[in-house]
């Protein structure tokens, strides 16, 4: 198995991230690349969810993945080994988020020719990544059952900017005090338009609903 490439991301010099993010979105649109920004707390199951998702979609879509972490390359290795799709590791050098320029540095290291779907697995953090538009086409976040259903109350911005909330690890629901209905209510309090899909990345439960959503988004993006 090939070693994954590790890219050391430099701090952005752009002051106006929103404008830069719009510019990046426009460039990606022209290239026909849909960029999904996937966010969550540490350990909520982003990488496992991605492996299941990519394996379900890779025959129909050309996919490339950027794994952002402060250190280590375990996630990019897992993606490459678990799916075979091109995957690079972005090191943020201690930084707690990615902005549009940092995302661009990652994209510059991917071969985007013929890529339909580029996925950015953001730094595990429910606070800072929500503050920076990465230039993504859509934002998705994972809330895992062990974290508790009250998280939309405590981390409002993250839930307000996400188009989709995946509630992961529903297989362990019996062992935690997690109220799925209440969670949905809290999510919609922050963002009435957000969709909520319960999944179990480990067993694959609910992944088809997610891949259907994602495929529809990519199609709409290309046609819009």
Can you give the binding site for its own copies, defined by CB under 8 A?
41-44, 69-72, 74, 94, 96, 123-128, 131, 144, 146-148, 150-151, 153-157, 169, 171-172, 175-176
Give the shortest CB-118-to-its own copies separation in angstroms. 22
Give the shortest CB-159-to-its own copies separation in angstroms. 11
Question: Closer to its own copies at the Cβ: 62 or 160?
Answer: 160
Question: Closer to its own copies at the Cβ: 124 or 184?
Answer: 124
Burial 43-67 (b: 16+ CB within 10 A, else e): ebbbbbbbbbbbbbbeeebbbbbbb
Give the shortest CB-82-to-its own copies separation in angstroms. 14
C-alpha to C-alpha distance for 42 and 11, rounded to whole angstroms: 22
Structure-block tokens of residue 7: 């890219």
Question: Closer to its own copies at the Cβ: 25 or 169?
Answer: 169
Give the shortest CB-34-to-its own copies separation in angstroms. 27
The closest alpha carbon to 169, from 66, 57, 41, 19, belongs to 41
Question: Closer to its own copies at the Cβ: 20 or 69?
Answer: 69
C-alpha to C-alpha distance for 11 and 145, rounded to whole angstroms: 34
Question: Closer to its own copies at the Cβ: 138 or 169?
Answer: 169
Burial 82-119 (b: 16+ CB within 10 A, else e): bbebbbbbbbbeebebbbbbbbbbbbebbebeebbbbb
**Tokens 């990606």 sit on residue:** 28
Give the shortest CB-37-to-its own copies separation in angstroms. 17
């Amino acid at each position: 198995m090939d070693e994954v490439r590790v890219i050391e991301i430099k701090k952005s010099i752009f002051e106006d991230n929103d404008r830069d993010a719009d510019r990046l979105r426009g460039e990606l649109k022209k290239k026909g690349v849909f960029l999904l920004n996937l966010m969550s707390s540490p350990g909520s199951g982003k990488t496992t969810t991605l492996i299941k998702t990519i394996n379900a979609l890779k025959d129909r879509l050309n996919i490339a993945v950027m794994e952002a972490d402060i250190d280590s390359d375990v996630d990019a290795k897992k993606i490459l080994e678990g799916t075979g799709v091109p995957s690079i590791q972005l090191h943020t050098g201690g930084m707690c988020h990615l902005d549009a320029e940092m995302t661009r540095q990652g994209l510059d290291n991917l071969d985007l020719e013929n890529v339909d779907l580029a996925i950015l697995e953001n730094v595990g953090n429910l606070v800072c990544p929500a503050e920076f538009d990465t230039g993504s086409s859509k934002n998705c976040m994972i809330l895992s059952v062990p974290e508790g259903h009250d998280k939309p109350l405590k981390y409002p911005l993250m839930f307000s900017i996400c188009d989709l909330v995946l509630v992961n690890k529903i297989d362990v629901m019996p062992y935690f005090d997690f109220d799925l209905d209440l969670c949905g209510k809290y999510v919609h309090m922050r963002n009435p338009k957000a969709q909520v899909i319960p999944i179990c990345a480990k067993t694959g439960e609910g992944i088809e609903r997610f891949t259907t959503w994602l495929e529809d988004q990519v199609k709409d993006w290309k046609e819009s």
